[in-house]
Chain A
Amino acid sequence: MMNWIREGLRSAFRQPFAIVTLFVYELLWGFFLYRYIQSIVTPLLHRYPGSSLPGGASHLFLAEGQFRLTKTDLLIPYMWTLAVLLIVRMTVTPLLNAAVYYSLHRTDLNAGYRFFRGIKQLGGHYLLYYVLLIAFTAAPLPWLIGKASELYGKHFLTGKLIAALLPYAGG
C-alpha cells in the first residue's frame, strides 16, 4: 500500500510542468470565482439589517429576497454567468485529462512539451470519452428535474422541499 502511495507521489513529482500549470489554473479560477461571489454577497450584507433592528426588518429582508428570487428573473443573469464558467471548464477538462495522462506515460519527453503534445495527440479522443461520460451521467437528469419540479410545487410553501429532494440528490 505504502509502495503504491510512494510510487504515486514520485510520478507526480516527475511532472513539474503539469503541477505548476494545474496549480495556476486552480488559483485563477479560485480567485475570480471568489471575487465574483464577493461582488454579489458583500453589497447584500451591507443591506442586511441584522436582528438588532426593529420591526422584523430581517424577516422582511428574507421574505422580499425569496419573492425576488422566485417571482422575478433576477437570478437568470447570475445563472447564465455560472453556466458559461462551467462550460468553459468542461471544455478545458478533456484537454487537461489528455495532457496529464500523456505526460504520466511519456516521461521520456520534455515536461512542458509532453503536456501540450498530449493535448494535441489525445485531445480529440478524451473529448469524445468525456462527452460519452457526461451523457451517461446526465441520462437520469430529465427524470430528476421532472421529479424536482413536481416536489417543488408540492413542498415549496411548506419549507420541506430540501428534505423531499434529498433522497433523489443522494441517489
Chain B
Amino acid sequence: MNPTIRSKTLRWLVLLLAAGGLMYGSDQVLTRSAQHDTTAFGKEPATPSPETPASPVAETPVVPAPQAEKPLSNRITEYHMSVELLAKTKELRGSESVSWTNPGSQQVTELYFHLYPNAFESKKTTFMRESGGQLRSDKAGKDSFGRVELLTIRTEDGNDLSSRIRYVQPDDGNKDDHTLLEVKLPKPVGPGEKVTVRTEFLVKLPAVFARMGYSGDFVMAGQWFPKLAAYETAGTRGRTADGWNLHQYHGNSEFYSDFGIYDVRIKVPQNYTVAATGFPTRPAVEDGKVKTYQFYADDVHDFGWAASPHFQYYEEPYSAPNLPGVKIKLYLDPAHEAYKNRYMYAAKKALARFSSWYGTYPYSTLSIVVPPEGAGGAGGMEYPTLITAWGATKDEPDLELERVVVHEIGHQFWYGMVASNEFEEAWLDEGFTSYAEDNLMATEFGSVANLPIQSSYITSPAALKENAWDYRDHDEYADNVYTRAKLVLTAIEKQIGKDQMDRVLKTYFQRWKFKHPSTQDFQAVLEDVTKQKWDDFFNQYVYGGLMTDYAVDGIRSKPTGLSGPGAYDNSVLLRRYGGTAAGVPVHIHFADGSAVDQVWDGKELQTELKVSSAAPVDWVMIDPSHKLVLENRHINNFLTMKVDPKWNVRWNLGIVHLIETAFRWIAW
C-alpha cells in the first residue's frame, strides 16, 4: 500500500497529476502490458480517517499512484474487456483480450474457458438438471433463460480460432452443457510464455434467480465473460503434474480461477450507476446517451459488476489497525436507504476485525451492492472487492442484514485472497467464512450461535473434501460445507483453545493468501502450529463424514443390602455410534439428589461405568454443558429411569385414539 497522504495541497497535486496521466494513457488501455498497468495504476492511496457518518457524495475518481512493490499474486491472467449493457434487450455486448502466462514446466496446447451464462441456456444443462432450476429459495421462471454467444475468437495476430473450439463436459458428459470450452492453440505455449486470445461475445441475461441476471432494470453481471479455467502446476493441491482444473457449472458449486489483472470498460445507459470489482481509473464519461466507466483491479481472480438507475450511492473512507485504508462504497436500493449506516457499520467492523485476525485487506475499495427486492437471487454473493447483500425487502431487516455483509466480507479473505477450489473443496471457503462470521457476530453484535441446535440440524453428514455436485442435494451440500465445516473448525478450536486457533488461521492465511491451498495444506498448517498430528480427526470429520454420537443405552441399579454410600451398585452402559472425541463428560444423577461426574475417554465402541451410591441412579446425561461441538444426536445423550406414569398413559392413549379416529373414518 502507498503511504498515507495527509496534506490537502499535496493530495490535490497528486490528484491533478494522476488524472492528467490517466487521460493521456486511457486510449491505450486495451493494449497495455501487465507490467505497464502495474506501474500506471497502483492501488488507491490509503486515506485513513475516523469513522464518519455516511453521507451521499458524488462518485469521485480514484487516485492511482505509482506502485513499485512486488505483486501480491502471480497474475498469470490479464483481461482487457469492454462491455456494453443493452438495457432494453437485457444483453451484454462485450469484447475481451485475455492473456495467459504458462506458470508450469510443460508446454500447453489448449486453453479452456468457462462460459458460465450457458448454464441458463436450457433445462438440460448440468446446472439446471442438478439444481432443478432453483438456488436457495429462488426459482427459475419462464424468463430465467440466458446464454453467452461467442461471436468471434481470434489469436492476438488475428487468426480465426473458431474452427479449433469445442465444448467439453469432463464431469458428466452431458452434451447439452456448454459451460466449458476448449480452444486448441495454433502453437503450444511454453513454460513462462504468454498467449493472448481476443473474443467478442454477446450475453443474453436471464431473469435473475442464481447469482447473475436482471430484475427490472437492475443488472447483476457475475460470471458474465468468457473466463479462463484455473491451471494448476505440479504440487498445487497435491497435483503430481501440471494441468488445467476443469469443471462445468454445477447446481451446487461456485468457482475457481487464477489471479490476474482486470481492466474493464463498462458502458451503460446514461441514467445508470455501476458498481464493480476494483476501482474506477477515471470519472465516468457521459455523451448524452451512454455513460462509460473504466475499472481496474489487480491480484483478483474474478470481476463482477452490477448496474441500476436506482442505486443510491454512498462512500466512506475507513482505516483501522492493520487496515491502512479502504473506501467503502455502498450501492443501495432506495427501499433500504434508512439502513445505510447499518450496512456501513457492519462492513467497517468486518474489515477491521478480519484484517486484525487474519491479515490486511490490501485492496483500496470494497463495494456493497444492495439489490432490489425482486433480485434476491443476486443477493448474498461474493466477488473480489464487491459483495451483494440480500434483496431490499420492505420489512424492517433483522440481524440478517449485518450477517450477510459480514459473511460476504469474510469471503474476501476465504475465497478472495485464500483462493481455494470451490468446485472440489467448497468447505475451505464456506466453512471458514461461516466460522469467521460466527466469531464476528458474537464479538461485535453479541449474537452467539446456538451450536448444539446447529449440530442437531446436521442430519446427513458427509465428507467435506468432496466435489460440490457429489452431495445428494443442495441441502446436504449447504448443511455440510457451511454448517458442519464451521462446527469442525469450532471443534478444533475447543481442543486447542481460542488463542492457538487464532494463530492457526492467521498462519494459514499468511501462508496461503493469493494462492490455491487444499485441505491437506490446511491440515499441515494446523499440525505445524499445534505441533501434533491431526490425521485421526481429519480422517473422521473432514475426509470422512462422521459426527460424534455418544449414547446412554442402559442404567442398572442393584441394592447391595448394605446401607450408606454402598447401598447400590450401579452400572451405566455408554456406546459410541460416531467418531471419537477427546474425553466424554458423563453426569450421573441419583434419586437422593446427589450426583457424580465422570469422564470417559470415548475411544472404545462401548463401556460400562460402575458407581456405588446411597441411592439408585435417577438419570444420566452425556456432555451436559455441550462441550462436544460435533455431537449431533443429543436425544440419546440422556436417559432417565423415571417416567411419569400419568404422562406415559396420556401420551400412549392420546396417540392410539388419534390413529383410531383417523382409521374409523374409513374402516372398522
A interface list, Cβ under 8 A from B: 22, 25, 30, 33-34, 37-38, 41-42, 45-50, 53-55, 57, 60-61, 63-65, 67-68, 71-72, 82, 85-86, 89-90, 92-93, 96-97, 134, 137
Once bound together, how far apart are the Cα atoms of A162 and B187, in whole Å?
69
Min Cβ gap B393→A in Å is 16
Q: Are A46 and B639 in contact (CB under 8 A)?
A: yes
- B560 an interface residue at 8 Å Cβ cutoff? no
Nearest opposing residue in chain A for B459, CB measure? A71
**B residues in contact with A63, CB < 8 Å:** 453, 456
Nearest opposing residue in chain A for B641, CB measure? A46
**A residues in contact with B23, CB < 8 Å:** none
Q: Are A47 and B459 in contact (CB under 8 A)?
A: no
For the complex of A and B, list the 7 residue pairs with the smallest distance between their C-beta atoms, beginning with the closest: A64-B456, A89-B667, A71-B459, A45-B643, A93-B667, A93-B668, A90-B667
Interface residues of B in 36-73 (CB under 8 A from A): none
Nearest opposing residue in chain A for B137, CB measure? A153
**Which of B644, B648, B666 counts the most chain A CB atoms within 10 A?**
B666
- B621 an interface residue at 8 Å Cβ cutoff? yes
Q: Are A41 and B668 in contact (CB under 8 A)?
A: no
Nearest opposing residue in chain A for B662, CB measure? A86
Once bound together, how far apart are the Cα atoms of A96 and B648, in whole Å?
34
Q: Are A57 and B638 in contact (CB under 8 A)?
A: yes
**B residues in contact with A38, CB < 8 Å:** 652
Once bound together, how far apart are the Cα atoms of A134 and B659, in whole Å?
18
**Which of B452, B638, B644, B668 counts the most chain A CB atoms within 10 A?**
B668
Beyond A33-B660, A37-B659, A64-B634, list 8 extra A-B contacts (CB 8 Å): A34-B656, A49-B621, A49-B638, A55-B625, A57-B624, A64-B456, A96-B668, A97-B668
- B633 an interface residue at 8 Å Cβ cutoff? yes
- B475 an interface residue at 8 Å Cβ cutoff? yes
Q: Are B640 and A46 in contact (CB under 8 A)?
A: yes
Once bound together, how far apart are the Cα atoms of A141 and B506, in whole Å?
59
Once bound together, how far apart are the Cα atoms of A93 and B663, in whole Å?
11
- B498 an interface residue at 8 Å Cβ cutoff? no
**Which of B625, B636, B647, B656 counts the most chain A CB atoms within 10 A?**
B656
Once bound together, how far apart are the Cα atoms of A96 and B456, in whole Å?
48
Once bound together, how far apart are the Cα atoms of A48 and B644, in whole Å?
11
**A residues in contact with B467, CB < 8 Å:** none
Q: Are A47 and B668 in contact (CB under 8 A)?
A: no
Q: Are A89 and B663 in contact (CB under 8 A)?
A: yes
Contact with A along B438-458 (1 / 0, CB 8 A): 000000000000001100110
- B460 an interface residue at 8 Å Cβ cutoff? yes
Q: With A25-B668, A93-B668 as known contacts, state yes or no: A67 contacts B643, CB within 8 Å.
A: no
- B635 an interface residue at 8 Å Cβ cutoff? yes
**A residues in contact with B652, CB < 8 Å:** 34, 37-38, 41-42
Once bound together, how far apart are the Cα atoms of A94 and B621, in whole Å?
51
**A residues in contact with B534, CB < 8 Å:** none
- B626 an interface residue at 8 Å Cβ cutoff? yes
Q: Which bucket holds chain B's interface residue count?
A: 20 to 34
Once bound together, how far apart are the Cα atoms of A63 and B636, in whole Å?
14
Interface residues of B in 613-668 (CB under 8 A from A): 621, 624-626, 633-636, 638-641, 643-644, 647-648, 651-653, 655-656, 659-660, 663, 666-668
Can you list 28 A-B contacts with CB-CB less than 8 angstroms, sorted by A residue number?
A25-B668, A33-B656, A34-B656, A37-B659, A38-B652, A42-B648, A45-B644, A46-B639, A46-B641, A48-B638, A48-B640, A50-B640, A53-B621, A55-B625, A57-B634, A60-B452, A60-B453, A61-B634, A61-B635, A71-B459, A71-B460, A71-B475, A72-B459, A85-B663, A86-B663, A89-B667, A93-B667, A97-B668
**B residues in contact with A22, CB < 8 Å:** 668
Contact with A along B459-483 (1 / 0, CB 8 A): 1100000000000000100000000
Interface residues of B in 468-515 (CB under 8 A from A): 475
Once bound together, how far apart are the Cα atoms of A85 and B662, in whole Å?
12
Once bound together, how far apart are the Cα atoms of A37 and B638, in whole Å?
21
Min Cβ gap A70→B in Å is 9
Once bound together, how far apart are the Cα atoms of A90 and B665, in whole Å?
11
**A residues in contact with B459, CB < 8 Å:** 67-68, 71-72
Min Cβ gap A50→B in Å is 8
Q: Are A47 and B667 in contact (CB under 8 A)?
A: no
Once bound together, how far apart are the Cα atoms of A30 and B636, in whole Å?
30
Once bound together, how far apart are the Cα atoms of A75 and B497, in whole Å?
40
**CB within 8 A of B456: which of A53, A60, A89?**
A60
Q: Are A41 and B475 in contact (CB under 8 A)?
A: no
**B residues in contact with A54, CB < 8 Å:** 624
**CB within 8 A of B634: which of A33, A60, A71, A86?**
A60
Q: Are A41 and B667 in contact (CB under 8 A)?
A: no
Min Cβ gap B629→A in Å is 14
Once bound together, how far apart are the Cα atoms of A25 and B663, in whole Å?
14
Q: Are A47 and B639 in contact (CB under 8 A)?
A: yes
**A residues in contact with B647, CB < 8 Å:** 45
Nearest opposing residue in chain B for A45, CB measure? B643
Q: Are A46 and B667 in contact (CB under 8 A)?
A: no
**A residues in contact with B644, CB < 8 Å:** 45
**B residues in contact with A86, CB < 8 Å:** 663, 666-667
**CB within 8 A of A42: which of B635, B643, B659, B668?**
B643
Min Cβ gap B630→A in Å is 14
Min Cβ gap A117→B in Å is 19
Once bound together, how far apart are the Cα atoms of A47 and B452, in whole Å?
17
**A residues in contact with B624, CB < 8 Å:** 53-55, 57
**Which of A64, A67, A96 counts the most chain B CB atoms within 10 A?**
A64
Q: Are A67 and B456 in contact (CB under 8 A)?
A: yes
Q: With A47-B635, A54-B624 as known contacts, state yes or no: A82 contacts B659, CB within 8 Å.
A: yes
Q: Are B666 and A137 in contact (CB under 8 A)?
A: yes
**A residues in contact with B625, CB < 8 Å:** 55
**A residues in contact with B634, CB < 8 Å:** 57, 60-61, 64
**A residues in contact with B452, CB < 8 Å:** 60
**CB within 8 A of A37: which of B640, B643, B655, B663?**
B655
**B residues in contact with A71, CB < 8 Å:** 457, 459-460, 475
**B residues in contact with A34, CB < 8 Å:** 652-653, 656
Once bound together, how far apart are the Cα atoms of A103 and B550, in whole Å?
60
Nearest opposing residue in chain A for B660, CB measure? A33
Once bound together, how far apart are the Cα atoms of A65 and B459, in whole Å?
11
Once bound together, how far apart are the Cα atoms of A34 and B456, in whole Å?
30
Once bound together, how far apart are the Cα atoms of A38 and B649, in whole Å?
9
Once bound together, how far apart are the Cα atoms of A22 and B39, in whole Å?
96
**B residues in contact with A60, CB < 8 Å:** 452-453, 456, 634
Once bound together, how far apart are the Cα atoms of A168 and B92, in whole Å?
49
**B residues in contact with A47, CB < 8 Å:** 635-636, 638-640
Once bound together, how far apart are the Cα atoms of A71 and B478, in whole Å?
13
**CB within 8 A of A45: which of B475, B651, B656, B668?**
B651
Once bound together, how far apart are the Cα atoms of A48 and B459, in whole Å?
19
**A residues in contact with B655, CB < 8 Å:** 37, 41
Min Cβ gap A154→B in Å is 11
**A residues in contact with B633, CB < 8 Å:** 64
Once bound together, how far apart are the Cα atoms of A44 and B624, in whole Å?
18
**B residues in contact with A30, CB < 8 Å:** 656, 660
Min Cβ gap B597→A in Å is 13
Once bound together, how far apart are the Cα atoms of A46 and B659, in whole Å?
23
**A residues in contact with B638, CB < 8 Å:** 47-49, 53, 57, 61
